[in-house]
Amino acid sequence: ANEVDDNIKAMVCDLRQTQLIASMVEAGFDYLKDLDIIVNNAGIAGETAGVGEQTLGGWQECIQVNMTSHFETMRLAVPRMNDEGSILSVSSVAGRVGFAYRLPYAATKWAVIGMVKSLANELGPRGIRVNALLPGIVEGERQNRVIEAKAKVKNISFDDMKNEILSGASLNRFVTHEDLAEQAHFLCSPLGKNISGQAVSVCGNIEKSG
């Protein structure tokens, strides 16, 4: 389980700096020679606060990482990728229902779905499928930080905030990273050959946000 495939190459890229994305894409093509799949997985949680307490800097950083980095990667890579390929952009269930106190985050996740649907129409003639993956409440330290921040804004306990958030999903449980990886694999593989332009939720049926 700890072994790493020799064909995997890791690169560091600060996606807040648009000019570095071109170097990342070029290095990827130098290593891979061609490209079949793009997964835009970069994203930040953004600030958790009422709209009057949100900052312009936080808004702009959220747009840069959650939207612009996706766009710039695709702008540079798509013209050179193979036909019959697949693109998957990670959005969020916030791109469907909105999240209170997380306006920048939710706005960028709605935008990702719009990019996906537009690009699916554009690239369909090349056989390239484009979809969005919408995670729900994903267990882990990042989610705990969000819960802590929202609990502080609403002046309630961590456990009360956690229960309130989970109550928005009919399954009343967290999504795991493994859940998301399996769905991403399905959408990018030949198993999903007729799925394109879709926003696929893995969220336990969230109908409202805490």
Residues with catalytic function: 105
- Residue 129 bridge partners (DSSP): 86
Give just the sign of the alpha carbon dihedral 49, 50, 56, 62. positive
**Between 103-123 and 69-77, two packed helices, what is the crossing angle to 10 degrees?**
20
DSSP H stretches of helix in the chain: 18-32, 56-63, 69-77, 94-97, 103-123, 141-154, 158-166, 177-188
Structure tokens that stand for 52 in this block? 């009057």
C-alpha to C-alpha distances, 60 to 32, 101, 102, 125, 171, nearest whole angstrom: 32, 16, 14, 34, 34
Q: What is the DSSP string of 88-147?
A: EEE--THHHH--TT-HHHHHHHHHHHHHHHHHHHHHGGGT-EEEEEEE-SB-SHHHHHHH
